[in-house]
Amino acid sequence: MKRLVKPKKKFARPASARKIAEEPKSILITGGAGFVGSNVLRYLWKRYPRSQFHVLDALTYAGDLRNIPDEIHSDPRFHFWYGDVRNAKLVEAIVAQCDIVIHFAAETHVARSIHDDINFFSTDVIGTQVVTSAVLQHKGSVKRFIHTSTSEVYGTARTETMDEMHPLEPQSPYAAAKTGADRLVYSYITTHAIPAVIIRPFNLYGPNQHLEKLIPRFITSALLGESMTIHGSGESRRDFTYVEDLARAIELIIEAPGEKVNGEVFNIANSRATSVLEIADMILKIRPVKTKKKAVFTEYTLNIGDRPGQVFKHIGNTDKIRSVLGWKPRVSFEEGIKKTIAWYEGFIIEAKSSRVRLRRRVQSAG
């Protein structure tokens, strides 16, 4: 009797070999020193070991070169451009060298946008116009342009889950600026047929996120034994995706045939809503620490409700990206929160030891 013999694992092709044919020549990541950009850089760096990588970043308060690991920074395949996405000459010169353009650079904090909206419209809309226009100039060589929009463009949900056809009803200056950028890219798609794809991620979390954002703030408060500050009742519900799942979606978009993705909009979400209070509970369950009080509710609770510009319910419908690209999130919220807590533990240790090093240096200099 013939026996079927399973091929031995050692004959499996390594991940890098799988990609030789489709590996991009050169990838531009704008905003690559920020939270999402740096995580996508790390992910694609491993997936495309022969590609060149260009990061363009103005290193605003939200960008940090330490988000880019030394082994990437010192590699000849990596090129860092310290500059502004609104600098048309510079952007055009970099886009000219790249076949994949991934645009993240933006001002991103909803609360800041309420007091500083000009900066948001300038960077998020004009910056996107500059990048999109450079892609148009190099339409012959750019194979894919991925523009990062956001679920904030939808505003508060009119339906239980929001798909890509949900009306765009931005409620904060940040969301309005991102809606302008989103529709601007769309207009270049319809007018000039540029090979662009618009992604609308719902809330993202993971390593390297700025402490002004909710999950890093809660985690670091818990790790430092401080109370968490909650704006409003804590009942507002959001849909959180671990940033590596987003990076995998981007990889699939890069590798998909043009007819499947060019000109399309894709939601990226976990399709599960978690309230602010549930997040606080989960963090304290994973890392039980003594806090004075679990949470401190700000005056918004009593006086004016939730923070202005906030939307109350956001759950993404991801049927489209699931059916077109076979993408679905792999990291559960609990697993992602565990990984994120572990990363912030290291971050706090590093921050404390560099403060000690700095104090010693100051003392020895004095």
Ligand X SMILES: NC(=O)c1ccc[n+]([C@@H]2O[C@H](COP(=O)([O-])OP(=O)(O)OC[C@H]3O[C@@H](n4cnc5c(N)ncnc54)[C@H](O)[C@@H]3O)[C@@H](O)[C@H]2O)c1
Sites of contact with ligand X (CB under 6 A): 31, 33-37, 56-60, 62-63, 84-86, 104-108, 123, 127, 148, 150, 178, 201, 203-204, 210
Q: Contact at 8 Å (CB) between 55 and 130?
A: no
Closest to 206 measured CA to CA, from 241, 253, 159: 241
Please say which residue, 19 or 45, places its beta carbon nearer to ligand X: 45
Q: Whole-number minimum distance, CB 321 to ligand X, in Å?
A: 14
Pairing of β 100-103 and β 228-230 = unpaired
Residues 6+ apart with CB under 8 A from 342: none
- The enclosing H or E element of 331 equals none
Please say which residue, 63 or 173, places its beta carbon nearer to ligand X: 63
Q: Whole-number minimum distance, CB 15 to ligand X, in Å?
A: 26
Q: Which residue is nearest to ligand X (CB)?
A: 34
Please say which residue, 51 or 150, places its beta carbon nearer to ligand X: 150
Amino acid at 188: Y
Please say which residue, 125 or 222, places its beta carbon nearer to ligand X: 125
**Would you state the structure tokens that stand for residue 319, as one six-digit string?**
């049927």
Q: Whole-number minimum distance, CB 52 to ligand X, in Å?
A: 19
Other beta carbons less than 10 A from residue 171's beta carbon: 18
Residues 6+ apart with CB under 8 A from 254: 24, 44, 100, 144, 146
Please say which residue, 19 or 189, places its beta carbon nearer to ligand X: 189
Q: Whole-number minimum distance, CB 338 to ligand X, in Å?
A: 19
Q: Whole-number minimum distance, CB 119 to ligand X, in Å?
A: 8
Q: Whole-number minimum distance, CB 240 to ligand X, in Å?
A: 8
Please say which residue, 179 or 262, places its beta carbon nearer to ligand X: 179
Closest to 81 measured CA to CA, from 53, 46, 62, 44: 53
**Would you state the structure tokens that stand for residue 124, as one six-digit string?**
């998020």
Please say which residue, 51 or 270, places its beta carbon nearer to ligand X: 270
Q: Whole-number minimum distance, CB 147 to ligand X, in Å?
A: 9
223 vs 286: CA distance, rounded Å? 11
Q: Whole-number minimum distance, CB 234 to ligand X, in Å?
A: 19
DSSP state of 11: G
Please say which residue, 204 or 247, places its beta carbon nearer to ligand X: 204
- The enclosing H or E element of 306 equals none
Taking CA atoms, 232 is separated from 227, 276, 304, 308, in Å, by: 15, 10, 8, 10
127 vs 124: CA distance, rounded Å? 5
